[in-house]
Amino acid sequence: MSDLFIIGASGTKAYRAAMAAIGENIANASTDGYARRSVRTIESGSSTATMATYISRANFGGVQVAGINRAADPYLDATVRNTGMAMGSSTARLRWLTDAETALNDTGTGIGQLMTGMFQNMEKLAASPTDTSLRVTTLDSISRVSQAFSQTSADLQNVSSGVATEAQSSVDTINRSLASLADINNSLLRAQPGTSAYAQLLDSRDSALQTLSENLNVTVSFGAHDSAQIIFGGQTLVTGDSATSLSMAAGTDGRLSLSLADGTALTAPANGTLGGLFSAAGTVADRRENLDTLAEQFVTDINAWHAQGVTDGGAAGSPLLSYGGSAATVAALITDPAQLATRSSDGTLNGNLLTVNSVLRGNGSVEQNWTTLIASHATLVASTQAEYDTASSRNDQAVAAREAVSGVDLDMEAADLLRIQQAYSASAKILQIAKETIDSIMNII
């Protein structure tokens, strides 16, 4: 009769734990990073018999809780980390390359269209070289192009600063994740596998790994008690309860560099948000260099064209623009319409203006090179958009596959709850029957 008490008591205890696991699942159905819990039970082989004539095969020991199962698939987890890494990279690059495209400004107030307007004004002036208002308009259009170079340079510099700021934020996130993983590793080594606390630590570990992978293309491996080891660029960032932090620096051109906290240089990240930011920073730096080159060519070509002409007063054309080493320094020098060298050396009133198309436009000109720059950057943005769309789709699929294994299905939890509730009631009924039987026996005696 004692077997019935043991079986009933063990059943109520086990199914109470199972109901608690279901309750935990329902309560955390919307919790990010939570993996479904379930109770693993085994038959109890314990025996309380002390009689010399006890026969072991006639005794039942009931059930006992062997541990807490955490619904997780290492392969699916790794897949989500990889797709999240690609998603982080493409998201960062798309955002900042789009901002760079906006800074290049191919609208009516941008360099390209203002330059086209400048040439149109020169053509109008060529038709009426003595018209003072047209001369003023031409000089103003040249000045507006120079101002557009300066504004575009400032806008691209702002993009570089924005990339550096976000990169520093990403590095801070990475360092927090690394420190968190070291603490979790320490706790995992002390925790008992198969317990609820151990499952919670694994949830926290996977969440930290996901955040880390979204920001940096690290290599993840697992050791004793599922502790995580993190390696990047041949350097171990986390092992056991020890973590190393990273440091980021931005150069004057906007390019980024990464190192350990002790100054050890690291290779540039190739993936993750930080990798995308490093790539975007390099592209924006290239655009700034391209802009400086075009600005220098523009100043050189305009001044050379003007120098070959002659003013109404018979003087050679003086420099129209100045260049101080970058697009930001381009400035107009002449505002007096009388100083505009519209004549050719033979005295033709519009002779120099008639050479504009052959000298300042056509193959290899600033106008053509600007168009090439805008087109190449637009192509890069379009390819990055396509990459982002692909990465987003793959990430959604990977997350859905993982959720099918680790996620909480409330319908399934409700069905399990009814099943466990019936099993718990049956176990309680065993205790009740055992008690009533004992009472009946005692009453007979």
Per residue, the 3-state secondary structure of the chain, as one string, reads CHHHHHHHHHHHHHHHHHHHHHHHHHHCCCCCCCCCEEEEEEECCCCCCCCCCCCHHHCCCCEEEEEEEECCCHHHHHHHHHHHHHHHHHHHHHHHHHHHHHHHCCCCCCHHHHHHHHHHHHHHHHHCCCCHHHHHHHHHHHHHHHHHHHHHHHHHHHHHHHHHHHHHHHHHHHHHHHHHHHHHHHHHHHCCCCCHHHHHHHHHHHHHHHHHHHHCCCEEEECHHHCEEEEECCEEEEECCEECCEEEEECCCCCEEEEECCCCEECCCCCHHHHHHHHHHHHHHHHHHHHHHHHHHHHHHHHHHHHCCECCCCCECCCCEECCCCHHHCEECCCCHHHCCCECCCCCCCCCHHHHHHHHCCCCCHHHHHHHHHHHHHHHHHHHHHHHHHHHHHHHHHHHHHHHHHCCCHHHHHHHHHHHHHHHHHHHHHHHHHHHHHHHHHHHC
Residue 109 lies in a domain: yes
Mean pLDDT by 10 residues, the chain (445 residues): 78 92 94 92 68 58 88 95 97 97 95 96 95 96 97 97 97 97 95 93 96 97 94 95 96 96 94 97 97 97 96 94 96 95 92 94 94 97 97 96 94 93 90 84 80
Q: What is the C-alpha separation between 155 and 225, in angstroms, rounded?
A: 51
Residues 6+ apart with CB under 8 A from 275: 88, 89, 92, 216, 217, 268, 269
Residues 373 and 425 in one domain: no
pLDDT at 58: 56
Two structure tokens written together for 123: 């053509």
Residues 35 and 9 in one domain: yes
Q: What is the C-alpha separation between 214 and 207, in angstroms, rounded?
A: 11
Residues 27 and 100 in one domain: no
Pairing of the two strands 242-243 and 235-239: antiparallel
pLDDT at 436: 82
pLDDT at 51: 53
Q: What is the C-alpha separation between 354 and 125, in angstroms, rounded?
A: 10
Residues 6+ apart with CB under 8 A from 309: 316, 317, 341, 342, 343, 344, 345, 351, 352, 353
Residues 226 and 117 in one domain: yes
Residues 6+ apart with CB under 8 A from 434: 1, 4, 5, 8
Two structure tokens written together for 398: 């990977």
Residues 225 and 345 in one domain: yes
Residues 100 and 23 in one domain: no
Residue 386 lies in a domain: yes
Please give the model's pTM, rounded to 2 decimal places: 0.89
Residues 67 and 89 in one domain: no
Q: Which neighbouring-strand residues pair with 63?
A: 43
Residues 174 and 268 in one domain: yes
How many Cβ atoms sit within 10 Å of the Cβ of residue 268? 15
Residue 124 lies in a domain: yes
pLDDT at 434: 84
Q: What is the C-alpha separation between 55 and 334, in angstroms, rounded?
A: 114
Residue 401 lies in a domain: no
pLDDT at 435: 85
Residue 232 lies in a domain: yes
CA atoms 353, 356, 357, 358: torsion sign: positive
Quote the number of domains for the chain: 2
Two structure tokens written together for 248: 């980021």
Q: Which neighbouring-strand residues pair with 41?
A: 65
Residue 422 lies in a domain: yes
Residue 161 lies in a domain: yes
Residues 59 and 96 in one domain: no
Residues 277 and 311 in one domain: yes
Residues 107 and 42 in one domain: no
pLDDT at 83: 97
Q: How many alpha carbons lie under 13 Å from residue 66 in its C-beta half-sphere?
A: 10
What amino acid is encoded at 18 in this protein? A
Residues 62 and 96 in one domain: no
What is the extent of the structural domain holding 429? 2-71+408-444
Q: What is the C-alpha separation between 310 and 401, in angstroms, rounded?
A: 75
How many Cβ atoms sit within 10 Å of the Cβ of residue 217? 18
**Which of 375, 396, 417 finishes a domain?**
396
Residue 403 lies in a domain: no
